[in-house]
Structure 1
Amino acid sequence: MNFEQVNALNKLLSSQKRIAIVPHKNPDGDAIGSTLALSHYLSKKGHKTHVLAPNDFPKFLKWMPGAHEILNFERHNTETKKYIAEAELIFTLDFNDFGRVGQMAGCLENASGDFIMIDHHQQPSDYALITYSDVSMSSTCEMVYTLIDSLGDNDLIDKDIANCIYTGIMTDTGSFKFKATTSKTHRVVADLMDKGADNVEIHQWVYDTNSPSRLHLLGCALKNLVILEEFNTAYITLTQEELDRFNYEKGDTEGFVNYGLTLDNIRFAVIFIENKEEGIFKISFRSAGSFSVNEFARNHFDGGGHINAAGGKSERPLQETIDFFVSLLPQYKKALTE
């Protein structure tokens, strides 16, 4: 954070406030970790905080300190609207446009509180009084650590906060293997471990609690893998029927898209997952090297994200979606093969 942002935030937080903290729809480890960590920190500073999620989040994150107190907009609609309307400050974490919160967008657009954005995705919208945006950061959780440290409160990071921040950094960096993982990231993680973050336990909770049905779903996804050698590209499809057959639960497909990038010479990996309720195919894009899936998703699939990780959607049927996707690849062949 820069000097002006630190001063402005210190001023806003100088007296007790009613604060709402909001992650994006379908929150992942970074979204849940950052919102819970910030909530714990602000509560220790004497503020009244509520974490308000647009919808539910995966079971493998529900062990996190404070997770049971998160209000789900779909399930606790009246309470969530009330807390947003009453909030004097609204922190939005791990997203930078109201389009990322689904049906919750209208409530945020009509809110009277001041917004503070904390996010590491590209091209932030201009809705916040304070916009802390840094695309060079590994994760929003690393940004929350930096915020707390910049406010002079590093000593307030206890075991609960450390576990939350560690979880978000670990999951958003692919266990510290992605390009955005810097030497600073490792120094932050070292400090979190010194403050009580249990790296072994966190890894077990996140990665080692699979159900048999999830592993069977992974097998189905890998069976559906298609390799387009000419474009160094691989894609996976999962239909609603396949999800239902293997008793899909929220979070079960987390990380599936990354299997494409484990193949030799593959630089672009994609997964298309049907959501019949919303009438769309949700798409995750991953890349290795300099190929920007953020631009690809923004240009063609109403999405966006990071250079090497982004999301999008398609309202076309599966085969039309695949045909359209494949038809785009020739114009990117040079970037994908050189």
Structure 2
Amino acid sequence: MLSIASLIELLAQPQKIVITTHHKPDGDAIGSSLGLYNYLIQQGHHVTVITPTDYPTYFNWMPGNDGVVIYTEHPEECAALVSEAKIIFCLDFNALGRINELGELVGKSAAYKVMIDHHLEPEDFDDYRYWNIGACATAQLVYTFIVEELKHKELVNKDVASCLYAGILTDSASFHLPNTTSAVHRITADLIDAGAVNWRIYDLVYNNSPENRLRFLGLCLSERLEVLYEFNTAIFHVTKQDLEKYDIQTGDTEGIVNYALSIAGIKLAAFIIERKDKVKLSLRSKGDIPANAICRKYFNGGGHFNAAGGHSEDSLENVINQFKQILPEYKKLLIK
């Protein structure tokens, strides 16, 4: 493993650096990546952020976004960048499978690999690990990595702060999840002091949707919601036809599952969506309901204890039925 002293020594000279994050990046993935990018370029490093896939357009305002390279659109360029990199920062993921085909390139690369992450059970592909499952967001860890490990608080400028604030804002569900500690609020206060305009960032992320997304949400609430009060569980399900009718793009379904969890008494919520190649699930839970264990055991996934995801090659109808059939296994937790 690489020591922090050795990493600091490496970073003392300009290096070719790649930053990458998980497929279908969310606000924390993009925010932490571009936050780190904006820190590193101040020291003269040659830095490129590579994402395995596209991501929501409502994150395009972040400083540095114009330089992001999407692997599925430029595979040869990405392969060259990875092969030339001296350091690869792996943010907001802990297994190479989470970056799809890009994972094979990163795994074979001779570059030093630095993992900054807050997910359970990391794989051993990294040379240096800055990891804490108690963190509410990887963006929180990028901040403490810069400030506490690298001792460069003065380099947390407006661009760095704005990206990291967005990452913390989105992964903490606007600061209302249990792991949004007083330390998190002190960090976000520092980010605001550094130039992050909190109300503007909220507006750009959450009040920037196309009309069709709102109409799609109306469909979900009125026709695609099923509430199973005997298990304190609620389920959204949408079809491929629904996605096509409302021209749903990457990120347009983000957060809808939380509407199901907002129903009084509901402890487990599922958003089950039929994509072209598979059925995907997003689970959210309250208290001691292990969303990650459910996804890991039954749906080829995982994640955080109260926020997880998975997928299945089965039909939408069968996945819905399978999800319902496993609920009795967790009934004691769900109804207590």
Partner of 1:11: 9
Partner residue of 2:298 out of 296, 300, 318: 300
Gaps of 5+ in 1: none
Query: Which whole-Å deviations, capped at 9, do the CAs of 1:88-112 have from their partners, x for residues lacking one?
Result: 1111000000111122222112211
**Cα deviation code 1:285-322 (max 9, x no counterpart):** 10011211111111111111101101100110011111
- Tell me what 1:254 maps to: 254
Partner of 1:168, secondary structure, is helix
CA–CA separation in structure 2 for the residues paired with 1:5 and 1:182: 28
**2:204 partner amino acid:** W
The equivalences for 1:129-278 within 5 A come to 129-150=127-148, 151-222=150-221, 223-276=223-276
User: What's 2:55 paired with?
Assistant: 57
Secondary structure, aligned partner of 2:322: helix
State the percentage of identical aligned residues. Answer: 41
1:85 correspondence with 2:121: no
2:92 maps to: 94
SS in 2 for 1:42: helix
- CA shift at 1:142, angstroms? 0.3
How far apart are the structure 1 equivalents of 2:289 and 2:5?
A: 38
Spell out, residue by residue over 1:9-44, the C-alpha distance to the aligned partner (whole angstroms, 9 max, x if none): 213313221111001000000000000011111111
Contact conserved, 2:94 with 2:122, CA < 8 A, in 1? yes
- Counterparts of 2:103 and 2:325 in 1: how far apart (Å)? 33
Secondary structure of the structure 1 residue equivalent to 2:283: strand
Map Cα deviations across residues 167-225 of structure 1 (whole Å, 9 max, x no partner).
Answer: 00000001100111000000000000001000111011001111110001111111201
Paired amino acid for 2:226: V
Cα distance, 1:272 vs structure 2: 0.8
Aligned mates of 1:109, 1:6 — CA distance in 2: 21
Distance in structure 2 (CA, Å) of the matches to 1:34 and 1:14: 21
Cross-structure match for 2:28: 30
Q: Deviations along 1:53-94, whole A, 9 cap, x unmatched?
A: 001110110011111110000111111111011111111000
Which amino acid in 2 is paired with 1:251? Answer: G
The code of the aligned residue for 1:252 comes to D
The one-letter amino acid paired with 2:146 is: I
Moved more, 8-17 or 146-155: 8-17
Q: Which amino acid aligns with 2:145?
A: L
Q: Tell me, in whole angstroms, the C-alpha distance in 2 between the residues paired with 1:5 and 1:139.
A: 23
Structure 1 distance, partners of 2:155, 2:235, is 44
| CA-atom RMSD in angstroms | 1.0
Mapped contact 2:273–2:316 kept (Cα < 8 A) = no
1:94, 1:11 → 2: CA distance?
Answer: 24
Unaligned runs of 5+ in 2: none
Residue 154 of structure 1, CA deviation = 0.3
Secondary structure of 1:144's aligned partner: helix
Amino acid at match of 1:244: E
Q: Distance in 1 between matches of 2:232 and 2:49?
A: 41
Q: Describe the SS at the equivalent of 1:270.
A: strand
Asked if structure 1 preserves the Cα contact closer than 8 Å seen for 2:130 and 2:145, the reply is no
Cα displacement (A) at 1:7: 2.3
The Cα of 1:5 is off from its aligned counterpart by 4.9
Distance (whole Å) between structure 2 residues aligned to residue 113 and residue 152 of structure 1: 23
- Amino acid aligned to 1:158: N
Supply the distance in 2 between the matched residues of 1:6 and 1:256 (Cα, whole angstroms): 40
Report the Cα distance in structure 2 between the residues aligned to 1:31 and 1:24, rounded to whole angstroms: 7
What count of residue pairs does the alignment treat as equivalent? 333
The aligned amino acid for 2:39 is: Y
Output the TM-score relative to the length of structure 1: 0.97
Find the counterpart in structure 2 of residue 326 from structure 1: 324
| Deviation, structure 1 residue 6 | 3.2
Query: Aligned equivalents of 2:7 and 2:183: distance in 1?
Result: 23
The AA in structure 2 aligned to 1:240 is: K
